[in-house]
Structure 1
């Protein structure tokens, strides 16, 4: 899909971004984008299932796709 993109395409996209957002707002935009990526990495790293506390019984939750319709 992106195999035909060249350096000229990147320059054109950069120029459009500069026109739309303006040079004064780009540092804030980059900062918020970096912060979002950091949060996403932290959340995906913490996405592992938690171990139950010792002495407790873990009950698995089973969901059915047609649970809202009575049979």
Structure 2
């Protein structure tokens, strides 16, 4: 009979408490939480950058189309 996932997690948690000590566990949790928050913030910033650059591209293409149409009017 093999141990279930929960039994393995409990054994790992007990070893972590024994080897790291109860004082280091909260600081470890805090650093993991900060890492996750930083990762999520980085993902959100990338989405914002992509949106801003696509808006700039759309504005640039509309301005270039206006310049081309004004040049064509000058020729006629």
Give the TM-score of the pair, scaled to structure 1.
Answer: 0.59
Q: Distance in 2 between matches of 1:25 and 1:42?
A: 26
| Aligned residue in 2 for 1:47 | 46
Question: CA deviation digits over 1:6-51, x for unaligned, max 9?
Answer: 2211110101111221101111111111011001000011113242
Structure 2 counterpart of 1:19: 18
Matches of 2:18 and 2:42 in 1, distance apart? 33
Decide which structure has greater helix share: 2
Distance 2:44 2:20 in 1: 32
DSSP 3-state at the match of 2:46: coil
What is the distance in 1 between the residues matched to 2:42 and 2:5? Answer: 34
Stretches of structure 1 lacking an aligned partner (at least 5 in a row)? 56-71
TM-score when scaled to structure 2?
0.56
How large is the RMSD of aligned CA atoms in angstroms? 2.1
Aligned length, in residue pairs:
52
